[in-house]
Amino acid sequence: MSMKYETVSENRSFGGTQGVYSHQSEATGTKMTFGLFLPEEAQYGRVPVLWYLSGLTCTHENAMTKAGAQEWAAEAGMALVFPDTSPRGEGVADDEAYDLGQGAGFYVDATQDPWKPHFKMWHYVTHELPELVSDNFAIDRDSMGITGHSMGGHGALTIAMTMPERYRSVSAFAPIANPTDSDWGRKQLSAYLGDDDTAWAAHDSTRLMEARGYPGEVLIDQGSSDQFLDLLKPEAMAHAMAKRRQPGQFRMQPGYDHSYFFVQTFMPDHVMWHAEQLAR
């Protein structure tokens, strides 16, 4: 039996439909909201899908309205899924800082109080939401790619390298590339997973690149004028890719910062690149 969901809104977009839907999540124990763009081709059969994971402080709405991805997904005949970044609501643990708690789930399954009852974003993104979407909409779970920005780039890379059989393409925009050696990572991973940093390695894309890499190509774009470079640590990932001789591209884009203007600029490259990878 397919999971129930509610339609929040549906709007015509580039010949397809941009929808927003909500459902009660077993993984998080909360109501969750996600965006889903379906191209016109979804009226006639299942289509490939690109998952977009957003960054700190974001909801499902940020990339859905700011990334400009629907035009290119429509051209490629590809669906887009925009999950939320954390559980939310009354009774859900939070923190005064913007980079921990609600809006900052870091795509991990928390094992520590007060986070562990609800912060199960790894399981939500990789298991529960794909099942709901594929059961109720015309997406092809055998043709899935994943991308994301900042914290979401961290999530996309770690998920794809852990589950390469499920995610046949992966890219990232300005990912938090080495969180076990960054203030955007050590704080959150210790809070969610505990002080034993051996448990953190599975959620560090640089360490995963060093240990296993990715069987396909990897595409990463990073702005050279990003105000958070010291927290993102892109040089660690670039070095790990080079040392492993990982197929793909790490592109340092001159003058670009961390904003959605950066994401918009290179979104066409990423969507079309995923379409090409998934077509192989």
Q: Does residue 125 contact residue 139 with C-beta atoms inside 8 Å?
A: no
Which of 54, 86, 143, 150 is flagged as catalytic? 150
Say what the pLDDT of residue 185 is: 97
User: What's the whole-number average pLDDT of the chain?
Assistant: 97
CA distance 136 to 237: 37
pLDDT band at 229 (very low <50, low <70, confident <90, very high): very high
CA distance 50 to 170: 9
Q: Does residue 79 contact residue 48 with C-beta atoms inside 8 Å?
A: yes
pLDDT band at 118 (very low <50, low <70, confident <90, very high): very high
Which of 118, 149, 154, 258 is flagged as catalytic? 258
Section 232-245 average pLDDT: 98
Q: Does residue 80 contact residue 171 with C-beta atoms inside 8 Å?
A: no
150 belongs to the catalytic site: yes
Which of 203, 226, 270, 274 is flagged as catalytic? 226
- pLDDT exceeds 60 at position 33: yes
Say what the pLDDT of residue 242 is: 98
Say what the pLDDT of residue 253 is: 98
Say what the pLDDT of residue 3 is: 81
258 belongs to the catalytic site: yes
Q: How far is CA 65 from CA 19, 69, 259, in A?
A: 12, 9, 13
pLDDT band at 2 (very low <50, low <70, confident <90, very high): low
What number does CATH give the domain 6-279? 3.40.50.1820
Q: Is the peptide bond before 130 cis (omega within 30 degrees of 0)?
A: no
- pLDDT exceeds 70 at position 94: yes
CA distance 3 to 210: 38
- pLDDT exceeds 70 at position 1: no
pLDDT in tens, 164-215: 999 999 999 999 999 999 999 999 999 999 999 999 999 999 999 999 999 9
- Give me the half-sphere count of Cα atoms (radius 13 Å) on the Cβ side of residue 79: 25
123 belongs to the catalytic site: no
